[in-house]
Amino acid sequence: MATQMKVSRWSRFVASALLVVGGTLLASFGTAGASGARAKSSSVPLTVGVFSSFSGANASFGPESYDPCLAAAAIVNSDGGVLGHQLTCKAADSRGDPVDGVPEAHKLASTTSNLVGVIGPDGGTAPTVVPIFGAAHLPMFPTTGSSEFNRQTDKYFWRVLPPDVATATALAIAAHGAGITRVASVFGDAATNETNIVPFANAFKKLGGKIAISLVLPSGQPSYSTQAAQVLAAHPQAIVTEADPQTEATFMKDLQQLTHKLPLIYGTSGTQYAAWTSAVGLAIGAKLLASIHYTATPFSPFSGVAYKLFKSSLLKTHTSNPAQFETDIFAMAAFDTVNIMALAMIEAKSTNPVVYNPFIEKVTELNAKAVVVNTFAQGKAALATGKSIRYVGATGSVVFNKYHNSPGEFALVKYTTKGASGAVQVVKLISTAEISKLS
Amino acid sequence: MQIYYQAFGFGIVTAALLAVGAVGFTLQFAVSNVFNLAYGSVMVVAMYAAYVSLNHGAGLWGALAVGGITGSVLSYLINRLVYRHFVRKQANRFTIVLVTLAVALMMANLLEGIVGDNFFSYQLPTQIAYAFGPFRFTNYETIIVGVAVVAMVAVQALLRGTKLGSAMRATAENSDLAGNCGVPTDRMEDIAWLISGFLCGLAGVSLALTIGQFTPTTGNVFLVTIIAAAVVGGVGRPVGAILGALIVGVSEEIVAVPASEYQVVVGFALLILVLLLRPQGILGTAQVRSG
């Protein structure tokens, strides 16, 4: 009996030990499996997806994120990579349309080895694609400004640049601040432009301004002469606008043909990217455009260590025309995004998106004890010594609220024709408080 | 009211652009029974050819000629090398439309591979519109309207007043019967594709002049409006295409006055209305084509 008891105890002990050891092993395998789900050995590269429009009317959106991704990955890799892994960027063409974007998103999420995060989706596909990346537990950094994400709750969603409603309000403040009281509101018919029209009108009217005429341009038409004549008949001091490059260029050319003096152009940040300035510049003349075009855009200092590194590494990428993105806020945001992901993975000591996702906020949040770092190398070095960090990159400070949106400051900027892609002059800063007051 | 007069004038320019494109499109369909969706891509290639010629000092008239010739040669080659094989094998219309779509996509992607997705523009002096009664036109717009009028008159004169035109019309009406009567139908088809291709090229260069810049995908939306004009007028009927272009072009500009965002809807609303009430188009006959 005693022997039986002993055997029984031994059996239980052995069984318990086996359970504990097995459980521990399983747990460790589980952890290893999770953290290494996309990268089991250090030699395996990690992939950042760039999900955006590489074809169609907004074909320039893709390279605008992809080129900076390559630039950031090169810097990360030259500094030893992330936890021993090299970073790569993979382009996925959303075509700006859910019909093409949804299958492409599924393909990217399900067939890409070691995918650790996504830059995108853009405005055309975000409503349908955000849930796909969220369900795949992939941290995503959408480039959409759509208001429907202002209070979103997907924990994998991180919007680095402020929403359109803030842009539109900043535009109203900037125009009013420049003494403009009468504007023509002219926007393209893309769904993403809808989010600018009403917030701008509301904010501008609150400030005492008047919308002399409000027009929506159907995209891709051979002529907007009638709309141009209507705008001129309304005698605006400025045209407040955002439309796709081709539509805007045709409209501006038609406008130019009807008057000796074009009104000022106050555009959203959607009018500051290279394809827009290139198309409109070709249509009406780059010098003329530079003399009348102002843009309200999320503030970047366009100087400092982070910006200089962004610019120098961008120009080293072997892409068709990286210089066009030198002063592009969306390109800077994409560059910062890769650095934020890389630093979050190092702080989390894991490349598993599920594990490192909460650390995205940790490496950017306002924290008195954190060391402010401007580059991946600085951040990696600080983390290696056990310090907390706060990454402030090319786009300046990124502070996520509880909806994973970063409200941020704005600036009214003016482009000049100097340099390869034009230089930027910051005309006026617009604070978050000013915007909140009117929103 | 002044704005409506102005819109009418702008509509004439749009109609001129559409008319040149729509007559070329409808001529191809009439003679070969090919609903050519690659038409827009040929227009774009012509835009680039004109761009190169302008950069080599050809001047505006030279660029228009180069664009027209490029469209002409390219259209002829596409028909000879691709479409004719399918027509000879009596492939159904759906198959042929798919083939033309494939050609369009191939051309667009090839072109994008060569020139990239950057914007291009003809470096010509900017012009301010002058008043002509209640209307306002630039010199370029006057040239576009003038070229369209001359081209339309020439096509009509060719089709109605020459032996060659009679032979082409006979080929369009009934290719087999025309062949049996001694008409060299293959040659007539080649000539039709050369002429329609020339119009296609002219339309491409005119479009690029009007919109101020272009990319390899510029022709896509405009092609749909060209097709709408051709169908409204009656597919296969050059005069119908001119009428369709006038109706669609002017309506789009007039509607833009009260409702800018619905400008693009007008052409398609007209298209549906005409197809419902008169499926053969305004000037089409019930049996547009046989054989």
pLDDT in tens, B71-97: 999 999 999 999 999 998 989 989 999
Structural domain contains residue B40: yes
Among all residues of chain A, which has the CA nearest to that of B8?
Answer: A226
Contacts of B36 (CB under 8 A, 6+ apart): B25, B28, B29, B83, B100
Of A201, A197, A105, A184, whose CA–CA distance to A145 is shortest?
A197
Residue type, B21: G
CA atoms lying within 13 Å on the CB side of residue A353: 23
Contact with chain B for residue A193, Cβ under 8 A: no
Asked whether the predicted pLDDT for residue A107 surpasses 80, the reply is yes
Quick one: average pLDDT of B230-238? Answer: 86
Flag whether pLDDT at B42 surpasses 50. yes
- Please judge whether A249 and B17 are an interchain contact, meaning their C-beta atoms are less than 8 angstroms apart: no
| Highest mean pLDDT: which range of B41-50, B103-112, B268-277 | B41-50
Residue A16 has pLDDT above 60, yes or no: no
* DSSP 8-class letter at A373: E
Nearest to A189 among B10, B120, B261 (CB): B261
Does the pLDDT at position A274 exceed 60? Answer: yes
Strands A238-242 and A210-217: unpaired
What's the longest Cα–Cα distance across chain A?
A: 111
pLDDT band of residue A21 (cuts 50, 70, 90) is very low
The answer to whether position B92 is within a domain reads yes
Q: How confident is the model at residue A192 (pLDDT cuts 50, 70, 90)?
A: low
The answer to whether residue A28 scores a pLDDT higher than 80 is: no
CA distance A372 to chain B (A): 39
Half-sphere exposure (Cβ direction) of A351: Cα atoms closer than 13 Å: 26
B107 CA: distance to closest CA in chain A (Å):
15
Report chain B residues touching chain A, CB-CB < 8 A: 3, 6-7, 10, 13-14, 17, 116-121, 126-129, 136, 138, 207, 210-213, 215, 217-218, 220-222, 225, 252-254, 256-257, 260-265
Residue of B nearest to A63 (CA): B117
Across the interface, whether the CB atoms of B212 and A219 are under 8 A apart is answered: no
* Average pLDDT score over residue span B212-229: 88
Q: Which residues contact A126 (CB under 8 A, 6 or more apart)?
A: A142, A144, A146, A149
- How close B263 comes to chain A (CA, Å)? 7
- Residue B122 included in any domain: yes
pLDDT in the model for residue A348:
97
Q: Which chain A residue has the Cα nearest residue B212?
A: A283
Name the burial class of residue A259, with classes exposed (0-12), middle (13-18) and buried (19+) by CB atoms within 10 angstroms of its CB: middle
Q: CB–CB of B212 and A250 under 8 A?
A: yes
Q: Which CATH architecture has domain A46-161+304-397?
A: 3-Layer(aba) Sandwich (3.40)
Residue whose entry in the numeric block shows the structure tokens 């669609």 = B248
Q: A198 to each of A202, A432, B130, B264, how far by Cα in Å?
A: 6, 19, 36, 23
- Indicate yes or no: CB of B225 within 8 angstroms of CB of A222: yes
CATH number of the domain enclosing B180 = 1.10.3470
d(CA A197, CA A203): 10
Interface with chain B: mutation pick from A223, A224, A250, A262, highest number of B CBs within 10 Å: A223
Tokens 């200092």, residue located: A301
Residue A17 has pLDDT above 60, yes or no: no
Range scoring the smallest mean pLDDT among A14-18, A72-76, A177-181, B271-275: A14-18
In a domain, B290, yes or no: no
CB under 8 A, 24+ apart: contacts of B124-128: B124/B54, B124/B60, B124/B209, B126/A256, B126/A257, B126/A284, B126/A285, B127/A257, B128/A257, B128/A258, B128/A259, B128/A260
Under the banding of pLDDT at 50, 70 and 90, the label for residue A269 is: confident
Question: Is the Cβ–Cβ distance between B13 and A223 less than 8 Å?
Answer: yes
Enumerate the residues of chain B whose CB falls inside 8 A of the CB of residue A217. Answer: 260-261
**Alpha-carbon gap: A65 to the closest alpha carbon of chain B (Å):** 16
Does residue B210 sit within a domain?
Answer: yes
Same fold, A46-161+304-397 and A164-299+415-438: yes
Which residues from A are below 8 Å from B136, CB to CB? Answer: 229, 258
Contact A279, B119 (CB under 8 A): yes
| Residue length of chain B | 291
Burial (CB < 10 A; 0-12, 13-18, 19+), residue B182, is exposed
Identity at B144, one-letter amino acid code: I
In a domain, B288, yes or no: no
pLDDT for residue B238 is more than 90? no
Could you give the number of structural domains in chain B?
Answer: 1
| A256: nearest CA partner in chain B | B128
Residues 6+ apart with CB under 8 A from A77: A86, A87
- Does the pLDDT at position A299 exceed 60? yes
Residue B291 falls within a domain, yes or no? no
Shortest distance between the Cα of B276 and any Cα of chain A, in A, equals 25
Show the domain range for B115. Answer: 2-277
**Predicted confidence (pLDDT) at residue A132 exceeds the cutoff of 80:** yes
Predicted pLDDT at A124: 85
In the predicted model, is pLDDT for residue A318 greater than 50? yes
Please give the pLDDT value at position A379.
Answer: 97
Per-residue pLDDT at B27 exceeds 80: yes
Q: DSSP assignment of chain B, as one string? A: -HHHHHHHHHHHHHHHHHHHHHHHHHHHHHHH----TTHHHHHHHHHHHHHHHHHTT-HHHHHHHHHHHHHHHHHHHHIIIIIHHHHHTT--HHHHHHHHHHHHHHHHHHHHHHHTT--B---------EEETTEEE-HHHHHHHHHHHHHHHHHHHHHHHSHHHHHHHHHHH-HHHHHHTT--HHHHHHHHHHHHHHHHHHHHHHHHHHHS-B-TTTHHHHHHHHHHHHHHH-TT-HHHHHHHHHHHHHHHHHHHTT-GGGHHHHHHHHHHHHHHH-TT-SS--SS----
- Cβ contact, residue pair B17, A256, below 8 Å: no
Q: Per-residue pLDDT for B51 more than 90?
A: yes
A350-364, A420-434, B227-241: which has the highest mean pLDDT? A350-364
* Segment A369-408, tens digit of pLDDT: 999 999 999 999 999 999 999 999 999 889 899 999 998 8
Q: Tell me: the pLDDT tens digits for B3-14?
A: 999 999 999 999
Q: What is the pLDDT of residue A34?
A: 37
pLDDT at A357 > cutoff 60: yes
- In chain B, % of residues over pLDDT 90: 67
The CATH superfamily of A164-299+415-438 is Response regulator (3.40.50.2300)
Q: Is A220 in Cβ contact with B222 (below 8 Å)?
A: yes
Q: Is the residue at B286 inside a domain?
A: no
Question: What pLDDT, in 10s, does the model give residues A210-235?
Answer: 999 999 999 889 999 999 999 999 99
Closest CA to B144 of B205, B201, B84, B88: B205
Domain ranges of chain A: 46-161+304-397, 164-299+415-438
Identify the band that residue A55 occupies on the pLDDT scale cut at 50, 70 and 90. confident
* Cα gap A277→A199, rounded to integer Å: 24
Q: How far apart are CA B238 and CA B20, in angstroms?
A: 10
Q: What is the H or E stretch that residue A13 is in? A: helix A2-35
Mean per-residue pLDDT, B247-262:
93
What are the chain B neighbours of A258 within 8 Å (beta carbons)? 128-129, 136
A209, A169 Cβ separation under 8 angstroms? no
In this predicted structure, the answer to whether residue B155 has a pLDDT above a threshold of 50 is yes
Contact B10 A229 (CB under 8 A): yes
